[in-house]
A = this chain, B = another copy of it.
Amino acid sequence: MEDKSKFPVKKVLFICSKATLESVYACFIMANGARMEGIESEIFFTFFGLEAIQKNKLDHLHVATVGNPAMHMPTMIGGLPGMEALATKMMKSKMEKLDIPPVGEFLEIMVASGVKIWACKLAMEMFDLKREDLIDDVEDILTVGDFYGRAEGQGTQIIFI
């Protein structure tokens, strides 16, 4: 039988495509967890996921309360003004209790521990974003082609979130 430990995960390359707080946290927790295991870890922010690295937006991400049956709120209530804010506040306070930092601070910690942060060129054009709209920690702006280049190497996993 093959010795699996000879083929560990060496690199994870996340595509962060959504702006919901739960998606962004799922991505950050997995990317950070990989670094803690000594695995190379990079995040490519695209489409709505770009909000998580926009200076003026990253602290204002929300939990999706409608279209998310797990919230166990009747949709009409989930859609009431204030419910999304409430769910978001609850998630943030829960994260704080578990010592999980807010988005901006989480990004800093990840970058300090070696997670590489990329932005998608096409999505930037789609949303009329400039380099200065993004946090300084963004390593570079990549085309889709560049992205596939980042996925080279044995033991690499691309994970779309």
Contacts and interface: CB of A to CB of B under 8 A. Distances in A.
Interface of A: 2, 4-5, 7-9, 12, 15, 17-22, 26, 29-30, 33-34, 36-37, 39, 46-48, 51, 61-70, 74-76, 78-81, 83-84, 94-95, 98, 122, 125-126, 143-145, 147-149, 151-154, 156-161
What copy number does this chain have within its complex? 3
A119 B59 CA distance: 29
B158 A157 contact: yes
A48 to B, nearest CB: 4
Please give me the 4 A-B residue pairs with the lowest Cβ-Cβ distance, nearest first: A67-B67, A33-B144, A19-B70, A48-B70
Contact of A66 (B7, B33, B66, B147): B66
A75 B70 contact: no
B64 A144 contact: no
